[in-house]
Structure 1
Amino acid sequence: MRRLLALLCLAALPAAAQEATEVQTDLDGDGTIETWVMETDDAGGALLTVDGLDGIRVYRDVVWSGAMAGTTPSLDVAPNGSLQIVSQNEAIGRDRWRQVLTVAFRDGAYRVAGFSYDWYDTLNPDSRGLCDLNLLTGRGVVMDGDHEAEVDASVPALPLAQWTSDTFPGECLP
């Protein structure tokens, strides 16, 4: 009886599922809505897929992905129609962060046009900051605690196919 009860309890638990978010936008301006899907793959990485007029494109390792709530990436659409890829660590350890890549269609390619990164230390309220870069113009702002400075972006507006989770503008390091 106990064995049957244990099996029934295990069966009632939700199965491990891949996290996925989906948005639609006409990012390339061709009049056809593209469907963008972000999901975590079996290895724990992020997989971004776009289904548009010219078929399906897959981008691997664009952003970091964790395996639990508060660490999985998601998608959003900015008010101007640009795609936003959000990755974060809002769940583990004392160092919390959130990164937003803004993707726009420029010069015939999906490009990372903006990079925003904010961070804070859960045990030290004075340790916080923000970095917001427009990679199309090459300009941005960095705030570390109460200190704010304008900066030049060290990374250009790379095509999405060239951006990886390891791409990180040095001026944005906490």
Structure 2
Amino acid sequence: MTHDWNDDGAFDRAVLALSTADDSEAELFIYLSDATNNRMQLALHKKNIAWVGGLWGALPSITTNGRGSLIVNVANDSIGRNRWSQKLTIAYRKQVFMVAGYTYMARDTLNPDYQLDCDVNLLTGRGIKNAKLFQSSTKAMLLSGWSDAAIHKDCQ
């Protein structure tokens, strides 16, 4: 995935790769360009950014949104009765990568009445869970310090 996150006029690169230590985890590498010498430097390496299920419907991916933020997509849409998807919105602000948003959706394939939809803007603290607004105490944080435990209390 390429994008000019540092606004120097040259493309930067994000790579999602299978962990060499644990094949059920993915690692994220973000390289920033240096337009003065046409080189890329590793700006961030985040281990265990995503779960890897190994089957179709359980493989992580990265995309960008309309504002240029990096989106890490993780899901289980193929294994067991509990299906879920998670999106981390990663923004480049003040020369650091931050987790700026979190989206989590879950459903139970054997209980059609159960559904969880949760979206939190960590820059403002505003969230919506199953069509009800809430204020999150969790704020945007450095991607290097992110773990799933940081947000799950709001989206359970």
Q: Please classify the TM superposition score into its range, dividing by the shorter chain length.
A: 0.7 to 0.9
1:165 CA drift (Å): 3.9
Q: What corresponds to 1:40 in structure 2?
A: 18
Determine which structure has the larger strand proportion and give its number.
2
Structure 2: gaps spanning 5 or more residues = 35-40
* 1:25 and 2:3 are equivalent in the alignment: yes
Which residue of the other structure, out of 87, 91, 103, is the alignment partner of 2:74?
Answer: 87
The Cα of 1:50 is off from its aligned counterpart by 1.2
Q: Which has the larger radius of gyration?
A: 1
Identity of aligned residues (%): 34
Moved over 6 A (4+): none
* From 96, 107, 114, the counterpart of 1:127: 114
Could you tell me the TM-score, scaled by structure 1's length? 0.78
Determine the structure 1 residue equivalent to 2:64: 77
Structure 1, gaps ≥5 residues long: 1-22
Q: Write the deviation string for residues 31-53 of structure 1: whole angstroms up to 9, x where unpaired.
A: 22111111212312111011212
Is the counterpart of residue 170 in structure 1 residue 153 in structure 2?
yes
Distance in 2 (CA, whole Å) between partners of 1:154 and 1:62 is 22
* TM value normalised by structure 2: 0.87
Secondary structure at the counterpart of residue 161 of structure 1: helix
User: Which structure dedicates a bigger proportion of its chain to helix?
Assistant: 1
Number of residue pairs the alignment of both structures matches: 147
What is the one-letter code of the residue matched to 2:19? Answer: D
Moved more, 31-40 or 85-94: 31-40
2-side partners of 1:141 and 1:102: how far apart?
Answer: 16
Q: 2:134 aligned with 1:151, yes or no?
A: yes
Structure 1 residue identity aligned to 2:134: V
RMSD of Structure 2 on Structure 1 (CA): 1.5
1:160 matches 2:138: no
Give the Cα–Cα distance (whole angstroms) in 2 for the partners of residues 35 and 171 of structure 1. 31
Aligned to 1:52: 32
How big is each residue's C-alpha offset from its partner over 1:74-131, in whole Å with a ceiling of 9 and x where there is no partner?
Answer: 0011122111000011111111000011111113210011100111111111100210
Report which stretch shifted further, 27-36 or 124-133.
27-36
Residue 166 of structure 1 deviates from its aligned partner by 3.8
Q: Does the aligned pair in 1 maintain the 2:127–2:134 contact within 8 Å? A: yes
> Is the Cα–Cα contact under 8 Å of residues 129 and 142 in structure 1 kept in the other structure?
yes
Is the CA contact (8 Å cut-off) linking 1:155 and 1:169 kept in structure 2? no
Aligned-partner SS, 2:49: coil
Letter paired with 1:33? F
Which amino acid in structure 2 is aligned with residue 31 of structure 1? G
